[in-house]
Structure 1
Amino acid sequence: MSTNQTTTNNDEEEIVTCSELLEQIDDEEAELDRERALYGNCDTDTCTYPQGYVQRQALFVCMTCHNNGNGQLAGICAACAFHCHSNHEINELYTRRFFRCDCGNSKLSHQPCKLCPNKDPTNTANKYDDNFRGLYCTCKRPYPDKESPTADDAMIQCMICEDWFHSQHLGVPLPMEENDADELDMICQACVIKYPFLIHYDESRTITSPPVEENAAASNSPPCLLVSNNNNNSNNNELHTIFLRDGWRKRLCRCPQCHKLYDDSNLTVVFNDDDAIQEYEKQALAKSENLDADKLLTDSLQKLDHVKKLEVLHGINEFKKSLSDFLRDKANGDGILTANDVTTFFAGLQEKRKEQKRTTFVPPDNCKF
């Protein structure tokens, strides 16, 4: 792969290699997938307040209202972020559990809700933390942090408290490449200290409990896996950030004592399979197929007459072929693209289109072709 260093020619014209261009396209597609996973479950025209405390939803904070109001902590749904706070500074919290939209209530009374104006003064079951102030991690810094000494400030969310943490502030190294960290669930050190039994499920301790079988509940007295694990690892009292790999919920102990422990710790919902962020994203991606570009194009073509439909399809195919030929020629040559190359490419497309219009017979609109 080509180096990422900036290269210039004698005229100091900025250039980019084909490999770098493809890498940028891959990054943009990954970001698009992330947005589909977040917004696919959202109805951006309907406030979620009437649904009550939603099990999991995309949540946002209006920093404009927070800074201009009385400083009360408040969260808003995606629809209110788009319609009621469209010209404001909005922070994305990704998703939160069991939260009810605060837009227009007593916390944000200076900003009436346009979508659902009749709301209770407060949502007493909502839980707030420093994220609602625009501060994250143990370092209590904003995101993105303009004063950060490094450009890379990627963060990981704790699946219990739902705060976000810099990888360098977790107190332990990532168990795999940082770019693959989103494939793991993380529980921060503060939550492990609050619920110390969680340390026995740390993947790095190589304590792998067998998956729970479908008929496990039928057993009269299933053994407690936590007691067994604790006996085998009694010399390890350190409580630290832990990472859990896919399927960890099926490896949880399901004995009566542990069930009560989960209930008393208010973690039963967290330990259910349907709480997994991966399940939320899977459903969101499925729903977001309605926003697929190919489907939108198909729906738009249905509104055109036969002649114009053929013209649009011909233009799309011509563009794809021209772009493919253009990139292939560059890759077989010096492999370098310049701004002038791109300008020349699109200028050539425009000229070819003009030539086609001059030489192609176009039937009148009332033609029954």
Structure 2
Amino acid sequence: MCEEQTVSLVDVLEEDLELEEEASAVLAGSDSDHCSYPQGYVKRQALYACSTCTPKGGEAAGVCLACSYKCHEGHDLFELYTKRNFRCDCGNRKFTELQCKLSPDKDEVNSLNKYSHNFFGVYCTCSRPYPDPDDQVEDEMIQCVVCEDWLHGRHLGCVVPDCVELQEMICESCMNKNPFLWTYAAHLAVPGAPVQENEERGGESSTNLSNREGLVDDVIEPSCKRSREEAEPTCRLKELQEIGQKRIQSGAVFWPSGWRAKLCSCNTCQERLCEAGLSFLLDESDTVLAYEKKGKNNEQKQEGHDPLMSALDNLNRVQQLEIIHGYNDMKTELKDFLQRFATEGKVVTSDDIRQFFEQQQSRKRQRVDATGHFY
């Protein structure tokens, strides 16, 4: 007889905390009370697609966090994580039977919004939903920083590196649409795809890659000892192309932290990025990591105005101590109560929790009867 797999209470609490932190990272940077439409095309925000209002076969549309709460409560929503430069569609022409409750005066359409199959609940090159009830393979989904589609790790055409959550990824399709990115990839990207031999130098082994990267940095950054003519801004992309280092142009590409700052920002390259709709790559604050950091900072500021602590400040010293002691007693008793279930391997039910608080109330009444005071 096989032993039944069990999950401890600590495992459940840790998983809940992890999910809460992930949700907070996505949502804390967006306003949950006010429609984002008046802000125009928001640099980055949490978005949702409503399959109840805009079903597959119709026009794609996205709604902001606040509208997902206030205008689409009870609807079937697809969570789109975050997307850049998007203006809330809620209640515009695409929603024939719904008017936005938060910002009803909207243009018929937001012409600069970009849509994908994500808005109909499918992702990756395989165009499958997530989670996929028919997919038994455990696989993480990774977002391309250019097209912002989500792709399965096994469909990226490359080995997914360690600490992928700290890196940005550009899918193979977006790399091929913008071939100049392959030049940057040969010098700046996380090692993963094989690097071809250097055409001009007769080739170097992969063990010399780090030395070569140091040489690239020397080429890119002008020395302060050079003459004024030599120190004039040059095109970094052109310099990298002249080095001749190549990378096999297949599979997705992962980029390390700070890689955007190494892209060329000369006038020619800025025009090239603008024409390709990639100007955001020169903006490090465009990253999801920067968005999440902003959200965490906002959350910490809000935590500084805890309503419970504000209420305690308005009580006298005796009342404060009574509340604190009561809270600590309940916390200790609840911990001991749950510990018994963890020790015996039993499941905590709603009836068990209800019984615990009924016992708490009974003890409070006994203390009131005995002392004539309630706290």
TM-score, with structure 2 as normaliser = 0.78
Give the deviation of 1:314 after TM superposition: 2.3
**Alignment coverage as a number of residue pairs:** 342
Give unpaired runs (5+ residues) of structure 1. 8-14
Q: Residue 126 of structure 2 aligns with which residue?
A: 139
Deviation at 1:234, TM superposition (A): 4.8
Structure 1 match to 2:84:
97
Provide the rounded CA distance (Å) in 2 between the counterparts of 1:45 and 1:214. 49
- Aligned match for 2:15, one of 27, 37, 43: 27
1:169 aligns with 2:155: yes
Query: What is the CA distance between 1:42 and its match in structure 2?
Result: 2.2
How far apart are the structure 1 equivalents of 2:127 and 2:352? Answer: 49
**Residue 355 of structure 1, aligned match among 351, 354, 363:** 363
Match of 1:168, as an amino acid? R
| 2:58 alignment partner AA | G
Q: What amino acid does structure 2 have at the position aligned with 1:170? A: L
5+ residue gaps in structure 2?
Answer: 196-208
Secondary structure class of the residue paired with 1:34: helix
Give percent identity, aligned residues only: 34
Q: 1:351 offset after TM fit, Å?
A: 3.2
Higher relative contact order (CA 8 A, sep 6+): 1
1:49 to 2:37 alignment: yes
Aligned match of 1:191 in 159, 171, 174?
A: 174
In structure 2, relative to structure 1, the CA distance for the partners of 1:163 and 1:358 (3 Å cut) is same
Q: What is the DSSP-based 3-state SS (H/G/I as helix, E as strand, rest coil) of the residue aligned with 1:66?
A: coil
Query: Quick one: which amino acid aligns to residue 128 of structure 1?
Result: Y
2:144 to 155, 158, 161: 158
- Pair 1:6-2:4 in alignment: yes
Q: State the alpha-carbon separation in 1 of the partners of residues 317 and 303 from structure 2.
A: 23
> Would the alpha carbon gap of residues 142 and 174 (structure 1) be closer, same or farther in structure 2, given more than 3 Å must change?
same
Q: Is the 8 A contact 1:144 1:153 kept in 2?
A: no
Q: What is the distance in 2 between the residues matched to 1:215 and 1:86?
A: 59
What secondary structure, in the 3-state scheme, does the structure 1 residue paired with 2:289 have?
helix
Q: Is the 8 A contact 2:367 2:374 kept in 1?
A: no
Change (3 A) 1:349 1:158: same
Do residues 130 (structure 1) and 141 (structure 2) align? no
Which segment is superposed worse, 22-31 or 80-89?
A: 22-31
The answer to whether the aligner puts 1:260 opposite 2:271 as a matched pair is yes
Shift of residue 136, structure 1, vs aligned partner: 0.6
Aligned to 1:149: 136
**Equivalent of residue 37 in structure 1, options 25, 30, 33:** 25
Aligned to 1:321: 332
Question: Does the CA-based 8 Å contact 1:196-1:239 persist in structure 2?
Answer: no
Separation of aligned partners in 2, 1:297 and 1:100: 36
Once the two structures are superposed, residues 47-106 of structure 1 have per-residue CA deviations (whole angstroms, 9 ceiling, x without a partner) of 1111111111111100111228x6111111111110111010111111111111111111
Q: Name the counterpart of 2:206.
A: none
CA distance change for structure 1 residues 51 and 340 in 2, over 3 Å: closer, same or farther? Answer: closer
User: 2:44–2:86: 8 Å Cα contact kept in structure 1?
Assistant: yes
Q: What amino acid does structure 2 have at the position aligned with 1:270?
A: L
Q: Aligned partner of 2:59: which letter?
A: Q
Does the 8 Å contact 1:210/1:251 carry over to 2? Answer: no
Moved more, 55-64 or 218-227: 218-227
Alignment of 1:75-90 (within 5 A): 75-90=62-77
Match of 1:240 in 2: 251
The answer to whether the 8 Å contact 2:341/2:347 transfers is no
Give CA deviations for 1:289-347 in whole Å, capped at 9, x if unaligned. 3554992432454577877654442232113333555677888xxx5531269977885
Aligned Cα root-mean-square deviation (Å): 3.5
Residues 325 and 215 (structure 1 numbering): CA distance in 2 closer, same or farther, change over 3 Å? farther
Match of 1:11 in 2: none
**Displacement after TM superposition at 1:239 (Å):** 3.2
Report Cα offsets for 1:216-265 as digits up to 9, x if no partner. Answer: 9x985345443444444555442320001211112223444433332332
Deviations 1:154-211 (A, max 9, x none): 31111111111111111111011xxx42221111111110112222332216574549
The separation in 1 between residues aligned to 2:354 and 2:70, in whole angstroms, is 36
**TM-superposition CA deviations, 1:267-310 (whole Å, max 9, x none):** 22232111111111111111123554992432454577877654
Per the normalisation by structure 1, the TM-score is 0.80
Q: How is 1:195-210 mapped onto 2 (pairs within 5 angstroms)?
A: 195-199=178-182, 200-201=184-185, 202-204=189-191, 208=213, 210=217
